[in-house]
Each structure stands twice: as C-alpha cells, then as structure tokens.
A and B are shown apart, each in its own frame.
Chain A
Amino acid sequence: MAKYFGIIIDEKRMAAIKGTPLEEKVEPIFGGALKRLVIEVSDELGQKVIEQFSRARFDARGFIEETPAAFKRLVFKKVAEMKSLGPEVLEKAIEEIPSIQEEIEKEDRELPVPDIDISDILELQKNPVQKPTQ
C-alpha cells in the first residue's frame, strides 16, 4: 500500500506557493474546509520517517501522522524551496531534523492556547443535564 505525508495549506502557505506548479496540486478535503498537499512515498521512506519520532505512525488511511508540528513546518519549507512533492523533499527534511530538535522538545511541553471565546460553552455547562450522582 502506498504511504502519504499530508501538509495542510492555509492562506499563508498558499501565498508562498502561488504561481508555482504546486498551486495546482493543492486538493480540498472535508468539502473544502481544509486544503492540503500530499507527498506520496514508498513504504521504506514512510517507515524511515516513522522511525525518527517515537509517536509517529501510519493511520488507517496510510498517512504518516503524529509527527511533530515543527517537522511538518520543515517539510513545507522544503516543498516550497524545492518546488516539488517528490520523495527527495522528505529525505531532505529528515536530514535537517537536528536543526529543529529544540522546537520538537518544546512542543512536548508547550503549545500556545488558541485565543478563542469559549464563554458560550461555559454558559451551557453552568446548567448540565446530568448532575453529580453522589
């Protein structure tokens, strides 16, 4: 089974690849709610990526998941620099993992909380249907 590495493309990343052949490779998922680029890799290369990170794994769709966000950022950087979705992009990113090691370790301890308003759910939780049972 082929393996894949997906990269979410937000507006900023879209701007970075605008005008390149990569732009046409961006595909919508979840009805267009998200966009991604996909790198197709061999089992061997996929396994090589998995082995770099203790929690990385193939999910049921055959995608490499649970890699650090810092690694995903690095892969996109390589994609944009090399203007390619070939396996060489991942090979290059793997070589440069030492340069992001500190970021990876920080990710295990800190992830900035999104600045969104959650007052509506706190309000709903003030009157739960299920009350304490003891």
Chain B
Amino acid sequence: MQDIRIKDLPPPHGGKLVERVVRDPQMAWKLMEKCSAVYDIKPTLFKGNPVRNVYREIMSVCYGFFSPVEGSMTKAEVESVLEKRRLLSGWVFPYPIVFDVSEEDFKRLGVGPGDWLLLRLKGEPFAILEIEEVYEINPQDIAVRTFGTPEKNPEVVKVPFDQKHTGYNIYCSLNPIILAGKYTIINEPKLRPPFNRFWYPPKKAREEFKRRGWTTVIAHQTRNVPHTGHEALMKMAAYIGDIKPCDGIVVNAIIGAKRIGDFPDEAIVEAHEMLHLAGYIKPERHMVTITLWDMRYGNPIESLLHAVIRQNMGISWHMFGRDHAALGEYYDVYATQILWSKGIPSFGFDAPPYAVPGGFYIRPQNIAEFWYCPKCKEFAYSDNCTHKGIYSRYSGSFIRGLINEGVTPPPEIYRPEVYKVVVKWWKEFGYPFNNAKYLKEREERLEVDLPHMDIPEHLKKKIV
C-alpha cells in the first residue's frame, strides 16, 4: 500500500529557487562599475497617489518569492503571460512583471539592450537591471488583458474593470517604456520594524520549517487584521494534513501600497502575531510572514501568484475563502474556488492549476464561510450550521465601521488582544486606518532601509 504521509516540502515552482542577492561589497562594486547610468526608483502614481513601487517586485523576484521569474519580462514573455498565464518556459505565472520608465527618463538615461542600469532606492544603490530588451507598451491594454473582460472571460468576470479597481489603475498608470532584463540586488536592504521579524524569503522559510520539524504546512493569505472568523478558518483549514492535521499554519501578509480605509500593514502583521502571543494558536504551530507586493486585487489571477509565492516558501496547501484577494464585484464571489476546483479555460486553465503542465504542487483548501452562531456556541462553518436568522456573518466593512464609530468590537468579533494591537498603531499614527497622511509618509519611509554605499565616479554624473 502506498504511504500517504508527506515527508518533504514541495519543490520550488519551476524547480529551483531564484536568489539574486549579492552580499559581497567588492562584488557589488565590480557590478556597479559595469553600469552605464543610474536611475532613482520612483513610485507609480495614480491621480497623484502612490499605488505601486517597483522596488517591492525587485525584492520579491531577487529573494525567490516569484521563482522562476528572474527580472523584468521581455515583450514575448509579457504576451505569453497575458495570453496563456504561462512564462515562455511553460511555468504558470499570472502577472506581467515589468520595469517601466517614462519616455523622458528613457531619453535622459541613454541606455539600450546590453547596458546595465544601477537602480537606487532612498538615495542608495539597491539593484542592477541588466537590460536585454527595450519596448513600448499600451498600459491600458495591459490592464484590460491582465484582469480579463466579461466577453472574453464569462466564467468569472462579471463587469468591465474600471478606475474604481486599484489593480487596474496600477497597470493603467505604468510608464510606456519597458526595460526588460534580470535584476540583481547589490546592497541588501534591512527590513524596518515591525516587518523585520516576519521576513522569511523562501530559502529562509524552508530552513525555518525544517528547524520546526514541519513537513505539512498550510498558507493563509491576508491583507487584514484577523477577526475570529479568520482565526476559525485558519484552524479548521489546517485539519487537512496527511495522517494528522498540518504541522504548521503560515500567515503570509501581502505588504505594499494599500488603499485608504484598510488597516496599516504594521497593525495587520502584529495582530496576526498576537493570535499566537496571546495563546489562541500555539506558537509552535503558527508563523507570520510577509511578501512585498502591491496588491493587484485580481481574485483568481492573484491566487495564482499566491500559489507561486507560497509553494516557493515550502507550503503544501493554500486555504481559499470567499472573495479571495478581491475588490468590488468585478469577479464572481467564488472565482478563485472555481479556478482551483475545475479551472477557468478562458484564462488558460482547462483544469485546476495543480493539474496542468507547468502548474503547482500546492493544493487548495476551498472553504465556504464561517460565522458566529450563538446556538452552536461556536464560530461555525456554513456547511455545518443551519441556524439562519440566529447566526451573524462577518463583514470587514462592518467591523471597520464599528471602529470608525468608536464602538469596541466585542470578543465575538475581535480577540481583545487583537483589538488592542489596532489601538496601539492607532496611537502611533493618530488614525486606525490608512489615510492620505499615512500613505504619503509610508511611501517615503517604505518597509526597508538601505546601508550607505558609494557609487563609482563615472556614474555620479549619470543619475536620472
């Protein structure tokens, strides 16, 4: 009889973890000497507000979260991703990853294929882009094709995407010139507190899982402070395993440019951490991690990126609930679960993403809904509880509304310690949610600091 126990972590997506981080200062200097020009990374703006910073994509590429992607995609690769959700190598990948500059900046840089470009962040050397190709894009075309349309993708797209959708705005706001090529980080950034204790790039995550003795791990995607329904979801989903429930539950918080009205990322990560610090989930079984990425809110498309990231981290299952990584009503409420149960042919999946060539080892746990039922006396699962009219459904908007009105969420909604983390950061920032002031200051300080590093003399007059 075949042994059903899982003995190893799944392999990285694409077979090998990318790691493009140079830690030797002498090597970093040699690489900088090969550069023709310097570019100061700027945020992508939509109506004057920062909606993306490409540095986060560079971090996620170079530290292996997006393996096997190694840099800014060529035109052919972008086409492959948009048409088939596959890299040219055949591995599943959902989003174009590109380094965009304005026409004016491109002229001033004076670079082309074969040139190396030094990228600076917060005034310090950060990474190198080895330019392989330069091409133009139509940003709106990229935006429409990234998310799909009701005509082309009727299985799951309900209404056309428009400027109320943050991810759509990110792609629409890209500059028209793309510099394609591999990234290499040459000055390792330091994560700022509190993010620094949650920084587990795939190589480190796998080492940590081995240290903890974990082989069966399930991922929980988050962009929110956890209410008791989220907590119930994590605990129940972890009952999948092999001959026993999962060894570990990994919360992977997506950290990046956010929307006004969301909770600050600092509160999100610490609130999740508080679930194990306050003993609601044993710390031996629960870990909080982060990935740097400006969310595209692409629901099923985003779930593919989540699978890439979490499989690369060594995770075997991913829980998917209602409205996964969603915004508004563009996609079917259960679009991600449709993808992961039967596929979405119009997006290139005749079968679920774990059952297609170039697909994933990571498997879904498609979860319906949790609610609070006073008759069941528990945070009940919707496929179990039948007490309609008695149970109360969770709503993130409703909870934020309570906080806005000055109502303390009761323990049936937020663990008291979780709410106190919200209050801690409320005191810090003067406001419980992201507002214009927080977003502006956040984009100035980012999540990292860079050590000071000199640049070669020949580059000092070529900074754009």
Contact = CB atoms under 8 A, between A and B. Distances in A.
A10 B407 contact: yes
A129 interface: yes
Interface of B: 188, 190-191, 193, 196-200, 204, 260-261, 270, 273-274, 276-278, 283, 287-288, 322-323, 328, 333, 372, 374, 392-393, 395-398, 400-402, 404-408, 410-413, 417, 420-421, 423-424, 426-427, 430-432, 435-437
A15 interface: no
A132 B196 CA distance: 5
B333 A60 contact: yes
A121 B424 contact: yes
Contacts of B396: 59
Contacts of B404: 68-69, 107, 111
Contacts of A130: 197-198, 273, 287-288
B413 A60 contact: no
Interface in A106-126: 107-114, 116, 118, 120-122, 124-125
Interface of A: 6, 8, 10, 29-34, 55, 57, 59-61, 63, 65-69, 72-73, 107-114, 116, 118, 120-122, 124-125, 128-134
B197 A128 contact: yes
Given A108-B435, A125-B270, A114 B401 contact: no
B431 A111 contact: yes
Contact of A110 (B406, B407, B430): B430
A113 B419 CA distance: 12
A124 B417 contact: yes
A32 B374 CA distance: 9
A81 to B, nearest CB: 19
Contacts of B402: 8, 34
Contact of A55 (B260, B333, B398, B410): B260
Given A33-B412, A132-B197, A133-B199, A121 B426 contact: no
A31 B377 CA distance: 9
Contact of B410 (A33, A60, A65, A120): A33
